[in-house]
Chain A
């Protein structure tokens, strides 16, 4: 059973701090990794995608991938109250299809 694991939270950080969200996955041949943000009652929206080991930065967001440890993380610098949402980690376990498997999400609460 291929799985994606996330701490459900809530993760509470003060405004301006760095929020660190973590995700582990069960299959070493996974190729593609995504972070989606979902506000309550809304649809998921893509924040970051990462395919290679290392860091990928986009504005205040940095995704980090370590395939040997089967670990992917998302850092949010200078956290804002508007960042408060559920963050979903998603993994493409097979190169043969585009199917993504999602973790259950981590609820982030940024305190003003």
Chain B
């Protein structure tokens, strides 16, 4: 049973290019989350999606960033016109539907995609 799969693991872009990061959740999980981690910093929430819906995008920068989780295929985090400040590790996590007796369900993280902007 594969965990959360992210690709690419490493991505190098020049300023102004586009970066696309992909995330396939754990089989059976319908909730996907994207987090960004800058060097020596904690995980910052970006966006929470269910299939075909954005549930919470309060952590997404207003410009250049977008996310989707289509009915078929992986979730995509897209960064347009990248700048050096976008260099970070981007982690995707997934969770199943809410458990009957619990609060939030446990998030399972992928290995991350490390973006370097030259």
Q: Contact residues of A with B, CB < 8 Å?
A: 31-32, 34, 36, 42-46, 49, 51, 88, 90, 92, 95, 97-105
Q: In this complex, what residue of A is CB-closest to B33?
A: A99
Q: How large is the interface on B (under 10, 10 to 19, 20 to 34, 35 or more residues)?
A: 20 to 34
Main secondary structure of the interface of A (DSSP, over half): loop
Q: List 10 A-B contacts (CB under 8 A).
A: A34-B107, A43-B110, A44-B109, A46-B108, A49-B106, A90-B107, A95-B104, A97-B56, A99-B48, A101-B45
Residues in A neighbouring B33, C-beta threshold 8 A = 98-100
B40, chain A: closest CB distance, angstroms: 9
Residues in A neighbouring B103, C-beta threshold 8 A = 31-32, 51, 92, 95
Option from B91, B104, B111 in Cβ contact (under 8 Å) with A31: B104
7 interchain residue pairs of minimum CB distance: A32-B103, A92-B104, A104-B42, A31-B103, A102-B43, A32-B104, A43-B109
